[in-house]
Structure 1
Amino acid sequence: MSFALYLLGVIVLISGLVYGAWLMSVPSQWIIVGAIVVAGAGILSAVSHTRSKDKPQ
Structure 2
Amino acid sequence: MSSFSLYLIGFVIFIAGLAYGAFLLGIATTWIAVGAFTLFGLGMVIGVGKTRARDESPASD
Q: TM-score range by the shorter chain?
A: over 0.9
Structure 2 length-normalised TM: 0.88
Whether 2:40 is the aligned partner of 1:39: answer: yes
Aligned position for 2:54: 53
User: Which 5+ residue runs of structure 1 have no aligned equivalent?
Assistant: none
- 3-state DSSP class of the match of 1:39? helix
Q: Which residue of 1 aligns with 2:12?
A: 11
**TM-score, with normalisation over the residues of structure 1?**
0.93
Q: Could you tell me which runs of 5 or more consecutive residues in structure 2 were left unpaired when the two chains were aligned.
A: none
Could you tell me how far 1:56 is from its partner in structure 2?
Answer: 1.1
Structure number with greater Rg is 2
Distance 2:15 2:8 in 1: 10
More helix by share: 1
How many residue pairs are counted as aligned between the two chains? 57
Distance 1:10 1:41 in 2: 10
Query: Percentage identity across aligned positions?
Result: 42
What's the C-alpha RMSD, in Å, of the aligned pairs? 0.8
